[in-house]
Amino acid sequence: MTTERRHHDMGGLDAGPVHRSEHKFEPWENKTDAIVRLLSQPKRGPMMRIDELRRGIEEMGPGVYDELTYYERWIASIANILLEKGVINVDELGRKIEEVKARHVPASGSAKPAEG
């Protein structure tokens, strides 16, 4: 493939059979979806346009684009755009991610029975 054709622009390329896969969306995926809808509302500016979100995803390049899942691409692009615009800064995002991780309590040993 030539570099003239961008990675996300895939109409007409050869590919294998369509796997009719689906999954139930996780809470963080629903949250990411809602963040995009809220940020793109006219009453908020819009603070982020859908085209900015797409541009951010396209600029990830082939490796990352294929490695991340759909909503992983979304949240990565949202974070970058909010950083570029100065809505959030690198330091507070880094601290907040650690804060979120630290809240996790492993369920092993809890009273909740394991399913399955």
Partner 1 sequence: MAYAVGDTVQVRYATPPGHVRTPYYCRGRAGTVERVCGRFHNPEELAYGRTGETLLTLYRVRFRQRDLWPDYSGPETDTVEIELYEHWLEPPR
Partner 2 sequence: MSHDHSHPHDHHHDHGHDHPHRHPNQPDLEDLPPTYYQAMADAVAELLIEKNVFSGGELRETIEYMQGRNPDLGAKLTVRAWTDPDFKKRLTTNAKEAAAEIGIDTGPAPLLVMENTPDVHNVIVCTLCSCYPVFLLGKSPDWYKSREYRSRMVREPRAVLAEFGTEIDPSREVRVHDSTADMRYMILPMRPDGTDGMTEEELAALVTRDSLIGVIEVAGPAAG
Provide the binding-site residues for partner 2, judged by CB under 8 A: 8-35, 37-39, 44, 47, 54, 57, 66-72, 75-76, 78-79, 82, 87-88, 92-93, 96-97, 99-101, 104, 106-108, 112, 114-116
Choose among 53, 52, 76: nearest CA to 64.
Answer: 76
**CA angle, 94 as apex, 51 and 28 as ends, to 5°?**
55
Q: Please report whether residue 14 would count as binding partner 1 according to CB under 8 A.
A: no
Q: How many other C-beta atoms are found inside a 10 Å radius of the C-beta of residue 77?
A: 22
What is each CA distance from 56 to 17, 19, 34, 39, 78, in whole angstroms? 28, 27, 18, 15, 8
Q: Which two tokens stand for residue 84?
A: 């570029």
Q: Please report whether residue 58 would count as binding partner 1 according to CB under 8 A.
A: yes
Q: Which is nearer to partner 1, 54 or 65 (CB)?
A: 54
For residue 83, the partner it binds in partner 1, partner 2, none, with Cβ less than 5 to 8 A by kind, is none
User: Which residues here bind partner 1, judged by CB under 8 A?
Assistant: 4-6, 9, 11-12, 49, 51-52, 54-55, 58, 84-85
